[in-house]
Amino acid sequence: MERSLKLAFASLLLLALVVLSAVAAASRTGLTIPSNTTKSVANRLVTTSAPPYLGITYLPITPEVAAYYGLTQQDGIYICEVANGSPAEMAGVSANTVIIRFDGTTLGSNTPLVELLRKHQIGDSVKLSVVEADSTGGKEVTVVLAATPGE
């Protein structure tokens, strides 16, 4: 999310807490949230950044996705689109391919890509194991993670 959107969300959260406190006071029920907690939550909303950017649009491989696209792979993510000038494109990743491993971890339903991206920082180099959609042979490429354009 952009910083301004995060600030707006944090402000809305604090406003909701103020309204709830006023309602609780008017109805003589207790609602107390320590100020340190609200400050901490608001600060996390403002400072938490988006995960590093690869520049791909993808689908997790399910039996349905594999059947529809004629994939031999049962794990990984199917790359639908690669953004121009993105880290993925600069590393040689193209549409209609499958990423089966991200920095040594096999991608699947238990390991979503976004969780793996959140473990890295902008500027980190990661290895991707990429396989052509209609092939079993593949290659390893190194991608340097970037910030999401516009952030």
> Is 37 contained in some domain?
yes
Give Cα separations from 23 to 14, 38, 44, 74 (angstroms).
14, 18, 26, 53
Decide if pLDDT at 33 tops 70.
no
Both 77 and 118 in a single domain?
A: yes
- Least confident window among 11-20, 50-59, 126-135: 11-20
> Is 151 contained in some domain?
no
Both 90 and 115 in a single domain?
A: yes
> Is 150 contained in some domain?
no
Decide if pLDDT at 143 tops 60.
yes
Distance, in Å, from the CA atom of 77 to the CA atom of 97, rounded to the nearest integer, reads 8
What is the pLDDT, as a whole number, of residue 145?
A: 95
What is the pLDDT, as a whole number, of residue 115?
A: 86
Both 35 and 96 in a single domain?
A: no
Domain range for 85 is 56-144
Token pair 């400072």 is found at: 47
Both 21 and 60 in a single domain?
A: no
What is the pLDDT, as a whole number, of residue 68?
A: 92
Decide if pLDDT at 27 tops 60.
no
What is the pLDDT, as a whole number, of residue 25?
A: 57
> Is 149 contained in some domain?
no
> Is 35 contained in some domain?
yes
